Amino acid sequence: MRLLRHVHAHKRLLKKTTMATLAPTAPTANGGAFLRPDATKQAELRKKADEKLRAKKAKDKVDAAERKRKREKDKERIAAIEEEIVANKAKREASATTPSESPFKAAVVAARQSPEDAERDERCNAYLDEREMLGHSSFDAKDLIKDLCGDGTRVFNMQRKLWGTTSHERLEALIRTCLWQPFAMEPEWNERLIELAKQRTEALHRKTEATLMVKREDSMAVSPEETKRIADERERGKRAALMREWYTPPTEQDQARVKALGLDDSKFLDKTQGLIELGPIVGLSAEARVMRWVDFQVGDARFVYERDPRYWDDEFMSTVEENGRTGAVANLKKMVGALAAV
């Protein structure tokens, strides 16, 4: 009996101890307060969250505007490079045996097109605008047509049971086989279709080339000073190319006259090419251009005495011409010096 009471007493003590251990602890003055913020604290937290959100939206807006500005700038650069590529190609074609048709002439020809030709071009362009350019072919030529459609550009229209391509570059090879005929197109339009497809391919190549050039330039992190230097070098290169194109060798007479005036220094003559006061450059050597301007100055000096009786005095007018020539040489050296200083 005594042992049984002792066991019961031990169980009651153990139960009390367990309940005391599992009972929730009363919060202290600061403990857990951050988990139960009051209304003021909640308002502060909401305010901070709103400020962060507004700041993020403002930053996103600025970043988006900057990206848009950069895209527009890249588009302008790409367009400028495309124009330069077209101009260079036109120049190369113009220097070939059979010069290419000018844009003005092409526009005139287009304006004079017959209604049939206008309809043909409209249909051809509509065909080229399609994402899938389909065509009829025989089952026996299936393997050849599939190869010519190109990997990655080959398509098969399940509804029409036709093979086709998404690349304008592939059209000519397909049509030239005479085993594939563009869908809903007249066979006599094939040559014109090939011509228009080539124009689109060339335009795509120009745009791709211009885009790659812009990306290459963007990948080169250069300072504004370096950018200016590169632009100046390009400008000098363009001018040098023009000078080479316009270059006319001097005659022995021009060389002798320039040497007599002490203006035969090659560097000095090169600098005179930058003086617009000396008049047009094309068709003249640097020596001839300088002497033309000097002769004009001498003529102006003679004109002063045109109504003077001494105008008919050869000795007097010879002195006037010599003084005019000397003054012209002095003024030319001043202009070249001022040009070098700039």
CA atoms within 13 A on the CB side of 239: 11
Residue 302's nearest CA partner among 287, 324, 285 is: 324
Using the predicted structure, report yes or no on whether residue 213 has a pLDDT greater than 80.
no
Q: What is the pLDDT of residue 218?
A: 66
> Residue 192: which pLDDT band, with cuts at 50, 70 and 90?
very high
Residue 265's nearest CA partner among 328, 332, 325 is: 332
Higher pLDDT, 94 or 269: 269
Contact 68, 61 (CB under 8 A): no
* Low-confidence winner among 32-41, 203-212, 284-293 (lowest mean pLDDT): 32-41
Query: Tokens for 48?
Result: 């901070």
Q: What is the pLDDT of residue 37?
A: 72
Q: What is the pLDDT of residue 16?
A: 56
Using the predicted structure, report yes or no on whether residue 190 has a pLDDT greater than 50.
yes
State the average pLDDT over residues 219-223.
Answer: 63
Query: pTM surpassing 0.75?
Result: no
Using the predicted structure, report yes or no on whether residue 134 has a pLDDT greater than 90.
yes
Order the strands of the 154-157 sheet from edge to edge.
154-157, 162-165, 133-137, 180-182
How far CA 312 is from CA of 295, 302, 307, 309, in Å, comes to: 19, 11, 10, 6
